[in-house]
Amino acid sequence: MQSSTIKKNLYNVGAILKGLSITFGYMFRKRPTIQYPSVKKQHAPRFHGLHELRRYGDGQERCIGCELCSSACPANAITVIGAENAPGDRVSPGERHAARYEIDELRCIFCGMCEEACPTDAIVLTPRFEMADYRRGSFIYDKDRLLVPIDAGVGAAPDERPGGIPGDLGRVADIKSTTDVAEGYSATWRGEILKTQRRGLASQ
C-alpha cells in the first residue's frame, strides 16, 4: 500500500511540474500585447471588415447601380437606388450610377456575397474592423462614408457601353488571395491605410 501511494504521489508531482513548465516557459517569452488603438492587430488578407465603394483612376465611380449586391445580400443589409447618368455630368461609365447606396452594418453578416456579385469590383470588404459607436443610426453607412477619395481610384474605366466590364475585374480577389499580408492589404484603400497602423503577432 505504501509503495503504490508513493508512486501515485510522485506521478501527481510530475504532472504538476509538467504543467508548471508550460507556465514558466511562457513567462520569459515576448508578450504579444499590442498598443491598441495606436497600433492595430494584423488580420488575414481576406478578413471581412468594413465595406468600401471603389473608384476608377479617373475619379469615376465603379458602381453602376445594377443592384446585384442588394439582391445577393442574405441579410437585406444593402439598399441601392440607381439613376441615369446625365450626358454632361457622368458619375460612372455606362448609363447608370448609384444615386443612393447604403449598408446597414448592424444587419450585415460580412459574408462577402456583395463583393462576389458585383460585376465591376465596386463594393469590397476591407480589413478595417473598427465600427463601434453609441447610436444605431451611426451604423447606417451611406455612399459618402463608403466611397473612397477621388485620388484613391485605381484602374482604367471601361468603354462607354451598358454593363461595361473593367479591365481589372477580379484583381481585388487575386490580391487578397495571397498569403503575404502586406500585399493583401493593398487590395483596398482602407487596407493600405491599415498597413501603416498595424503590427500583429506575426511581426513581433
Q: What is the pLDDT of residue 81?
A: 95
Give the span between the Cα atoms of 145 and 61, in whole angstroms: 14
Give the type of residue at 181. V
Q: What is the pLDDT of residue 200?
A: 60
User: Do 62 and 52 meet the contact criterion of CB atoms below 8 Å apart?
Assistant: no
3-state helix, strand, coil in the chain (%, to 5): 35, 15, 50
The sign of the torsion formed by the CA atoms of 50, 55, 56, 57 equals negative
Write the DSSP assignment of 35-91 as a string of letters: -TTTSBPP--TT---SEEE-B-TTS-BS-----HHHHH-TT--EEEEEEEPBTTB-S
pTM of the model: 0.78
Tell me the pLDDT of the chain averaged across its residues.
Answer: 87
Residue 202 has pLDDT above 70, yes or no: no
**Across 119-135, average pLDDT:** 92
Q: pLDDT per residue over 161-183, tens digit each?
A: 666 788 889 999 999 988 888 88
- Going by pLDDT thresholds of 50, 70 and 90, the confidence category of residue 160 is low
Phi first, then psi: give them for residue 140, nearest 5 degrees.
-90, 100
Residue 101's nearest CA partner among 66, 69, 65, 143 is 143
> Strands, DSSP E only, in the chain?
51-53, 78-84, 96-104, 123-125, 140-141
DSSP, res 40: B
Q: Which set of grid coordinates corresponds to residue 204?
A: 513581433
Give the span between the Cα atoms of 129 and 151, in whole angstroms: 23
Tell me which range, 35-39, 120-124, 195-199, is most confidently predicted by mean pLDDT: 120-124
**Across 84-103, average pLDDT:** 90
Q: pLDDT per residue over 11-50, tens digit each?
A: 788 888 888 888 888 888 887 777 888 888 888 888 999 9
Residue 125's nearest CA partner among 138, 112, 113, 116 is 112
Residue 159 has pLDDT above 80, yes or no: no
More confident residue, 31 or 63: 63
Q: What is the pLDDT of residue 204?
A: 40
Residue 140's nearest CA partner among 172, 171, 108, 167 is 108
